[in-house]
Amino acid sequence: MNNAPPPLPPVATPAPGSRQNLAVGRVRPGPIIRDGIIIFVLTAIGGFVAGLATGGASRDAHRSMLAIAASNLLFGTVGFTISGCLAPSSRWRHLACMAAGVWLASLINVLLFDVSLLQWIGGAILTTLIMGIGGALSYIFRRDE
């Protein structure tokens, strides 16, 4: 008697260059750029409105910075939720690339606005938090296949 288990059936692998193979192996730059623009525009508009509503940094710097931080938290979360809904099949890889890109793009705040390099580095934690919340919320609107 032969007690060996039966052989396993062959596993189908996607053809090189097929759409399924691209979704698993690489992150496409088109959706990254699109979603980066969405997030950047949402947070810029929110920060501008928060700055106007508080009278700007010259009036009350602490209040203005808190309003801009709350605005970035809200609008960044909305942006990452949209990005998670629009993401290709590898949602979290896409969102991680988005978070890195958004954080690097926010370096413009150090160059043009009154943000220190240390604040920008600390912004990586906030960006990761916003990405996590937005990514989790995106499952409410679109589940993985």
Tens-place pLDDT, residues 43-53: 989 988 888 88
With respect to residue 2, please indicate whether it lies within any of the assigned structural domains. no
The structure tokens 């990405």 sit at: 131
Tens-place pLDDT, residues 75-132: 999 999 999 999 877 899 999 999 999 999 889 889 988 788 999 999 999 999 999 9
**The total number of structural domains that make up the chain:** 1
With respect to residue 66, please indicate whether it lies within any of the assigned structural domains. yes
- Residue 23 has a pLDDT of 47
Closest alpha carbon to 144 in 98, 94, 91: 91
Please say if the pLDDT value at position 28 is more than 50: yes
Residue 123 one-letter amino acid: G
With respect to residue 132, please indicate whether it lies within any of the assigned structural domains. yes
Please say if the pLDDT value at position 24 is more than 80: no
With respect to residue 83, please indicate whether it lies within any of the assigned structural domains. yes
Domain that holds residue 69: 28-141
With respect to residue 122, please indicate whether it lies within any of the assigned structural domains. yes
With respect to residue 4, please indicate whether it lies within any of the assigned structural domains. no
Q: Whole-angstrom Cα distance, residue 15 to residue 22? A: 10
Q: pTM of the entire structure?
A: 0.75
Q: Whole-angstrom Cα distance, residue 72 to residue 67? A: 9
Tens-place pLDDT, residues 51-75: 888 876 666 778 888 888 899 899 9
With respect to residue 126, please indicate whether it lies within any of the assigned structural domains. yes
Closest alpha carbon to 115 in 69, 50, 60, 52: 69
With respect to residue 20, please indicate whether it lies within any of the assigned structural domains. no
